[in-house]
Amino acid sequence: MNPRPSYAIGTGLFILLGFAALAYLATQTTSVANIHSGDSYIVKARFQNIGQLKERAPVKIAGVRIGDVQSIQLEPQRMDALVLLSISKKYNEIPDDSSAAIFTSGLLGDQYVGIEPGGSPTFLKNGDEMVLTQSAMSIENLIGKFLVNGGPKSSSGSSAPASSAPPSSGKP
């Protein structure tokens, strides 16, 4: 009692087509960079305010993605955010006096961690902490500062006495 061959051929072709579609979606519409690769090392950074930074946000040097944010947690003693950056092993020559800052891509885009390389001859290793960090720019703080400092008449907002918390932290 053989089945009609058209069933078998049709079924086989259908299953092949389905898996081909899945493979197409998996390879062509996602990027390999999104899949967390095993070859990476962890660098710590503390921020006073992380803004809208989320886990798995990109970490970039000069705009090139070198890793992603692995975890974000509050450190209870110091009341600041401890951000673990997972950086690809390929980029293991980042000077240890580099500074990390939280930037926004575009005007309304997602936030990412940008690393500004320093000049130290020694490099960041697994578990190191980046000392120089700059918090996320808060629009509310900027607007608040601008309003308190009196708007257009004295628009030198940056040189006015600090009326609210400065956006930078951790700078020696």
Q: Which stretch binds another protein (CB under 8 A): 20-28, 80-88, 126-134, 141-149?
A: 20-28
Point out which span in 33-41, 45-53, 74-82, 126-134 binds another protein (CB under 8 A): 33-41
Stretch of 26-34, 82-90, 120-128, 152-160 lying at the interface with another protein (CB under 8 A): 26-34
For residues 136 and 47, is the Cβ–Cβ distance under 8 A?
yes
Q: Which is nearer to another protein, 2 or 159 (CB)?
A: 2
Look at residues 111, 134, 123 and name the one whose alpha carbon lies nearest to residue 48: 134
147 binds another protein (CB under 8 A): no
Q: Is 73 in the site for another protein (CB under 8 A)?
A: no
| Long-range CB contact pairs, 138-147, < 8 A, 24+ | 138/49, 138/51, 138/167, 141/165, 141/167
Find where tokens 């939280």 sit: 102
The Cα–Cα gap between 7 and 60 comes to 53
Nearest to 67 by CA among 103, 38, 96, 26: 38
Residue 39 to residue 138: CA distance in whole angstroms: 34
How many chain residues bind another protein (CB under 8 A)?
25
Examine residue 64 and tell whether it contacts another protein (CB under 8 A).
no
Binders of another protein among residues 93 to 112 (CB under 8 A) are: 108
Residue numbers of the site for another protein (CB under 8 A)? 1, 3, 7-8, 10-11, 13-15, 17-19, 21-22, 24-26, 28-31, 33-35, 108
